[in-house]
Amino acid sequence: MRVLAIDTSLANCAAAVLDNGADTACFEEVGEEIGRGHAERLMDMIGEVMAEASTAFSDLDRVVVTVGPGSFTGLRVGLSVARGFGLVLGKPVVGITTLAAIARAAAPSDGGADLLVALTGKGEEVYCQQFTADGEVCGDAGVRTLSDLANCLPRGIRLAGSAAESVAGKLGAAPEQIVSRCGFPGIRDVAELGLTADPARSSPSPLYLRPPDASPQTRGRIERQ
């Protein structure tokens, strides 16, 4: 199977082509940690990686994209493009969470304590999810406060992600419990997860984890009889 993978959810902007066929195997990637401005860079990167991998759009079997958690605008850039490709190609588009992709790279696979992937959110909040030492999901993704996590995380838990340091600090965890501080997934992990993901259970829908900041405003309204 040959997939095009896209990640614009966090600070990275990346695209890759991965093929796991016995005779057709290949992997090409293009990416840069740009912080913001994914909409300006993504199409060029896709064009470049498709050319590097000598791949035409009709060669693709599916499109893989990160769905968040991450920057709301950033993840919509990748999702718009991936779903646009899916529409024309008539091929599945699968969504991978940034947390799962980070866990895939960070999982120690030593049969030891679980792994919490935690990304920095607003203020005290982190976007996080717990995985086994093998990187298997063992809890729902959610928004938690650092204090809340400190109260309920098991002592020996391993930590990964941009918020690993702050969670460790709050928890009083030993430095060796931090297995990775990387704040975004590697595009190869996104692509690998996409190869095996079940399209029926990996919808390319945003994973915001937070409702929009909006509240009904009635201030200044004239009182009616």
Partner 1 sequence: MTSVNPKDNAADLTVLGIETSCDETAAAVVRGPHGRQILSNTIRSQIDEHTEFGGVVPEIAARAHIDILDRIVAEAMQEADCGWDDIDAVAATAGPGLIGGVIVGFMTAKAIAMAANKPIVGVNHLEGHALTARLTHDLDFPFLLLLVSGGHSQFLLVRGVGDYERLGTTIDDAIGEAFDKTAKLLGLPYPGGPHVEKMAAAGDPLRFKLPRPLLDRAGLDMSFAGLKTALRTQAKKLEPVDDQTVSDLCAGFQRAVSDVLAARTKSALDLFKQRHPDVEPVIVVAGGVAANAEIRSSLLTAAAEAGARFIAPPMRLCTDNAAMIAWAGIERLCEGPVDDMALSPRPRWPLDARQAGILGAGRKGAKV
Among 26, 34, 39, 150, binds partner 1 (CB under 8 A): 39
49, burial (CB in 10 Å: exposed 0-12, middle 13-18, buried 19+): buried
Identify which of residues 175 and 220 has a Cβ nearer to partner 1 in the complex. Answer: 220
Q: Give the separation between CA 67 and CA 75, rounded to whole angstroms.
A: 6
| Residues 51-110, interacting with partner 1 (CB under 8 A) | 57, 72-73, 76-77, 79-89
Identify which of residues 24 and 205 has a Cβ nearer to partner 1 in the complex. Answer: 205
Q: Tell me how many residues contact partner 1 (CB under 8 A).
A: 38
3-state secondary structure of 152: helix
Q: Token pair 């991936």 is at which residue?
A: 82
**Contact region with partner 1 (CB under 8 A), list: 19-27, 101-109, 126-134, 212-220:** 212-220
Cα atoms in the 13 Å half-sphere on the side-chain side of 214:
3
Tell whether residue 208 is a contact of partner 1 (CB under 8 A).
Answer: yes
Identify which of residues 1 and 87 has a Cβ nearer to partner 1 in the complex. Answer: 87
Q: How many residues are present in the chain? A: 225
Q: Among candidates 12, 9, 143, 23, which has minimal Cα distance to 74?
A: 9
3-state secondary structure of 162: coil
Residues in touch with partner 1 (CB under 8 A) = 39-40, 42-44, 46-47, 57, 72-73, 76-77, 79-89, 205-206, 208, 212-217, 220-225
